[in-house]
Structure 1
Amino acid sequence: MAKRLLFLCHRIPYPPDKGDKIRAWHMLDRLAQDWEIDLGCLVDDPADLDHLPTLRTRCVSVEARRTGTRRQAALRAILRCRPGQPLSLGWFREAALWDWTQAHLAAGTHDAVFVYSSAMAPYVMTPAARRPGLRRVLDMVDVDSEKWRAYAADAKPPMRQVWAREARTLLAFERRAAAAFDRTLFVSAAEAAQFRAMAPEAAGRIDHVDNGVDLSAYDPQQPGPSPYAPGTLPLVFTGTMDYRPNIEAVAWFAEAVMPLLRDAAPQAEFHIVGANPTPAVRALAALPGVRVSGGVPRIQPWIAHAAVSVAPLRIARGIQNKVLEAMALARPVVASPEAFEGVRALPGRDILVAEGATAMAASVLDVLAGRHPGLGARARAAVTEAHDWRATLRRLDAVMAPDAAAAWRAFA
């Protein structure tokens, strides 16, 4: 008899067009090879409902529930907030999905539960989930509380107090969740090590599954036509452009780094490529040499034909898919130390890591001047060796095996 898995996800995992959905989709697709899956997920973009048929080819059943607008979700979070509880839990609590999950747990028909993101952990921290023999695995992905701590450090009152409270209460919840699940995973060894230090009581239950990249989808031999004007030196940043760390990264690069670059290389153009650019992002197009494209049908040509892919993130958690994708397409990548975290590559050989505007401009100019020949080819080789999804997900196979403890020890 096939094993049955309940898979919960805070965002519909298809299409895999942004960081959290990419990881969730590859995990779901891998698990579907060995498990019969009932998928419960939330949907924040109604257009994603068009992709339910694809998910149903992998799952026995799919329960997808709308979260409503951002304003509605925020109001829900505020109304449901209780002393000592993080706001983000209320944001992702949806009544119908909650009832669906509890009914499945009470039925006792599943061998395991896989929960993607700490926001969904409360759905499985209930009496119905404490059935003996039910294996519970949480992919926390990142230490999300650290992101809120970084927001607070850079904010002014009253938001400094709001983000600081979120960081404090979310960390407390993350620790409770790690204690409640049989295994909690993170996106990299570095992220797992940081959480072990923050939650030593759960250290024996913590490990990681590295993020990967689809090497066939990001193939430098199939770049597609160039979207750039002839005679320019395109620099590219890719990512969802209503996400605060991405917004801050492109604003800083456009305002602090581009003037330095344009002085030495007037043909340099900075292309911001990604869906949902905010008004602040669109306003950057008024700066010399800055272009804002918005969403595009395929991201690969924008990366493959760029002279340099830049990742100047100053707030970053886990492994950045934008870095892995650019490396897979054999592009020279210049990244901040924050964006490089978790990437299994050698700085200076496979990727350039630069901190501050002067250093980042110098690294980009070195690439444009041809001082790093072969950097792109070595980048492709590095991710092929260390970040191929087919290899990284073997750790997921181990943690989900019937005798998971023995399988994990053998794998490690």
Structure 2
Amino acid sequence: MQELLYLVHRFPYPPDKGDKIRSFHLLKHLSQRYRIHLGTFIDDEMDHKHLERVRGMCGETCFLDLYPKSARIRSLSGLLSGQPLTLPYYHDKRLQAWVSNLLETRPVGTILVFSAAMAQYVSHAMNIRRVMDFVDIDSDKWMQYAATIAWPMSWIYRRESKLLLNYEKQVARLFDSATFVSEAEADLFKRLAPEVAEKITYFNNGVDADYFSPQNIYPNPYLAGIDTLVFTGAMDYWANVDAVQWFASNIFPAIRLQLPKVEFYIVGTRPSAAVMALADLPGIIVTGAVPDIRPYLAHASIAVAPLRIARGIQNKVLEAMAMGKTVVASPQAIEGINANPDRDMVVANDESDFINRIIELLQNGSSRAIGHAARTRVLEDYNWKKNLGRIDALLSQPQTI
């Protein structure tokens, strides 16, 4: 069995948030063809209970704890070195030593790196085929963040965006091939870095449509006689926090004024203090972590995705679509998703659009036709086995550098 080094910035299990969903399915898929040596960081104490499960899918492993507070302090060294702060945040001498020793002692024929920050560990491995899965254009996220906050953090985020884009371009030049999470994301990077356009491609995420299925029976977590709007996601992630704050402050009150029995459920792990504070507002419920998000999707009237900051593909949108729900989403939330507005989902361009479209759907009954079309779209375009076939072809090609 061929040997492959797989570097991931976050422990790829459980697959309960965007990057971990993709990194886990890559691991699961590739373990059928390769002896995988996995190097990764653990930034959530709860992940330790899953270590043996992941080890069982791998050859050699290096799992290192990463403490976000100390990592943020360490990242400040980038201000002196001229690096993007992301690189020292994820730098660890122990992981570098493990990678170097592995490449010297094992017949590794291919390297797959997940997230740009991890490329620093194999910058010297020029005689091995290297494939970079950028997933998203992280540098663009930092530019979006910069537009939402005041100086001096806006300056730091703009700096990070500029330096990280330069680093992403450098990695794309050095690696044999680079992938993104959608065709739209890949096309944007080609425009940003036309000199490496021929190396850039993509493979879509997938959804376990048997697991996220409206045909299953789920207990109803909601009170009888109410309409429910639901948002799902990791609730310590800035883009999600911004989305629910905006929706709760600028959109939901106007909906509830006309439809007093509507409630807004925020369902997801690790809600920040800002998210928890939203539970003090009328009609808003913050659940925190739940054993299973599917009942909240299955019995919701509408799934909402009011993201203002987004890159790549939103798994929360795909999962709701797979559940046959009508999704009302911002343009940012559906960027990269192959779907037709008003047939597969509803797109709301601003606050008044969100208000009017949601009220219309609730008054007339959330459209079953949209929900059915949404699930059909997922079944056609977001199948893991089909989409991961694209990475197989990239990894098996001969080295080009």
What's the counterpart of residue 386 of structure 2?
391
Find the residue that maps to 2:234 and give its secondary structure: coil
**Counterpart position of 1:321:** 315
| Counterpart for residue 42 of structure 2 | 43
Q: Which residue of 2 aligns with 1:141?
A: 135
- Structure 1 range deviating more: 50-59 or 203-212: 50-59
Q: Is the aligned partner of 1:251 residue 2:245?
A: yes
> Residue 199 of structure 1: which of 162, 168, 193 is its match?
193
1:232 to 211, 219, 226: 226
**How high is the TM-score relative to the length of structure 1?**
0.94
Structure 1 residues 139-168: Cα deviation after superposition (integer angstroms, max 9, x where no partner):
000110000011112221111111011001
CA contact (8 A) 2:129 2:398 kept: no
Amino acid at match of 1:46: E
Note if contact 2:176-2:399 (Cα within 8 Å) is conserved in structure 1: no
The equivalent residue for 1:408 is none
Cα separation, partners in 2 of 1:402 and 1:202, compared to 1, 3 Å: closer
Matched residue, 1:190: 184
Kindly report which structure 2 residues correspond to 1:65-76, keeping only aligned pairs within 5 A, or say none.
Answer: 65-68=64-67, 70-76=68-74
* Rounded Cα–Cα distance in structure 2 between residues aligned with 1:302 and 1:291: 12
C-alpha distance after superposition, 1:331-358 (max 9, x if no partner): 1100000001011111110100111111
Given the alignment of the two structures, is residue 370 of structure 1 paired with residue 365 of structure 2, yes or no? yes
Letter aligned with residue 75 of structure 2:
A
Structure 1 residue aligned with 2:110: 112
Q: Secondary structure at the match of 2:57?
A: coil
Match of 1:299 in 2: 293
CA displacement 1:281-314 (0-9 Å, x = unmatched):
1111111111111111111111111110000000
2:86 to 85, 88, 109: 88
* SS of match in other structure, 1:20: helix
Runs of 4+ in structure 1 deviating by more than 4 angstroms, as ranges, are 402-405
Aligned partners of 2:366 and 2:230: how far apart in 1?
19
State the identity %. 45
Q: Secondary structure at 1:361's aligned position in 2?
A: helix
- The one-letter code matched in structure 1 to 2:339 is A
Question: What code does the residue aligned with 1:107 have?
Answer: T
Alpha-carbon distance in 2 for matches of 1:87, 1:404: 30
Note if contact 1:81-1:90 (Cα within 8 Å) is conserved in structure 2: no
1:174 aligns with 2:159: no
Instruction: Determine the structure 1 residue equivalent to 2:119.
Output: 121
In structure 2, what is the equivalent of residue 30 of structure 1? 29
Secondary structure of the equivalent of 1:165?
A: helix
Name the amino acid aligned to 1:302: Y
C-alpha displacement of 1:108: 5.3
Change (3 A) 1:93 1:149: same
2:3 is paired with a residue whose SS is: strand
Give me the whole-angstrom Cα distance separating, in 1, the residues matched to 2:397 and 2:185.
Answer: 26
**Alpha-carbon distance in structure 2 between the residues aligned to 1:330 and 1:159:** 40
Q: Secondary structure of the residue that 2:251 maps to in structure 1?
A: helix
CA distance in 2, matches of 1:395, 1:23: 14
Q: Tell me the CA shift for residue 260 of structure 1.
A: 1.5
Aligned to 2:126: 130
- Cα-to-partner distance string for 1:72-92 (whole Å, 9 max, x where unaligned): 110111135544310011111
Secondary structure of the equivalent of 1:393?
Answer: helix
Residue aligned with 1:111, SS: strand
* Partner in structure 2 of residue 381 of structure 1: 376
Match of 1:58 in 2: 57
Q: Which residue of 2 aligns with 1:410?
A: none
Question: Greater relative contact order (Cα 8 A, min sep 6): structure 1 or 2?
Answer: 2
Given that 1:12 and 1:48 are in contact with CA atoms closer than 8 Å, whether structure 2 keeps it comes out as yes
Task: Count how many residue pairs are aligned between Structure 1 and Structure 2.
Answer: 399
Tell me the TM-score normalized by structure 2: 0.97
Does structure 1 residue 350 correspond to structure 2 residue 350?
Answer: no
3-state secondary structure, aligned to 1:374: helix
Deviation, 1:373, is: 3.5
1:61 Cα offset (Å): 2.1
Partner of 1:235: helix, strand, or coil? strand
Q: 2:79, 2:210 → 1: CA distance?
A: 44
Counterpart Cα distance in 2 of 1:80 and 1:392: 37
Distance in 2, matches of 1:123 and 1:169, equals: 18
Task: Please tell me whether the aligned partners of residues 223 and 305 of structure 1 are also in contact (alpha carbons under 8 angstroms).
Answer: no
Q: What residue number does 2:3 align with?
A: 4
Q: What secondary structure does 1:16 align onto?
A: coil
Say if 1:274 and 1:295, in contact at 8 Å, map to a contact too. Answer: yes
> Contact conserved, 1:67 with 1:94, CA < 8 A, in 2?
no
SS at match of 2:201: strand
Structure 1: unaligned runs, 5 residues or longer: 406-412
